[in-house]
């Protein structure tokens, strides 16, 4: 049986062959780790929170690292850690990019 474009309108959206080929707007939990055992506070800042210095506080673990899980959408994201008021890049980042000021920032790709 051959399915035509007109026939596809009668198919349920979730069963449509075209639907299966479309990229999904996926959100994935991403774990961030910052090693700063002497720090008093740490935050995650990035393009996903408009570089807000307080919206994503990190939680200190027993080993002195700071951790936070953030749900991010598909694509590339720029970010940094704000540790005791000082910005620092993630040494485990997937790459580095430049922000609007030409400064290096950490880069993460979510697929």
pTM assigned to the model: 0.76
Strand pairing report for 59-60 and 86-88:
unpaired
Quickly count: other Cβ atoms within 10 Å of residue 9's Cβ. 8
Distance CA 69, CA 48 (A): 13
Distance CA 75, CA 17 (A): 25
| pLDDT score for 26 | 82
| pLDDT score for 25 | 65
pLDDT at 84 over 90: yes
**14-43 pLDDT per residue, tens:** 444 544 444 556 899 999 999 999 999 999
The DSSP symbol for 24 reads P
pLDDT-based confidence at residue 100 (cuts at 50, 70, 90): confident
pLDDT at 73 over 50: yes
pLDDT at 8 over 80: no
- Within 8 A by CB and 6+ apart from 39, the residues are 60, 66, 83, 84
| pLDDT score for 46 | 97
CATH code of the domain occupying 24-110: 2.60.40.10
Residue 66 phi, psi (nearest 5) = -110, 140
| pLDDT score for 104 | 97
| pLDDT score for 24 | 59
Q: Give the start-to-end residue ranges of the domains of the chain.
A: 24-110
Distance CA 18, CA 35 (A): 45
Distance CA 104, CA 23 (A): 30
pLDDT at 106 over 70: yes
């Amino acid at each position: 049986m051959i399915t035509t474009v007109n026939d596809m309108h009668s198919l349920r959206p979730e069963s449509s062959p075209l639907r299966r080929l479309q990229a999904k707007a996926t959100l994935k939990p991403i774990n961030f780790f910052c090693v700063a055992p002497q720090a008093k506070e740490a935050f995650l800042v990035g393009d996903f929170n408009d570089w807000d210095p307080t919206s994503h506080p990190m939680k200190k673990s027993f080993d002195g690292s700071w951790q936070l899980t953030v749900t991010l959408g598909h694509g590339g994201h720029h970010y940094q850690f704000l540790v005791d008021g000082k910005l620092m890049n993630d040494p485990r980042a997937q790459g580095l990019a430049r922000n609007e000021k030409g400064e290096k920032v950490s880069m993460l790709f979510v697929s």
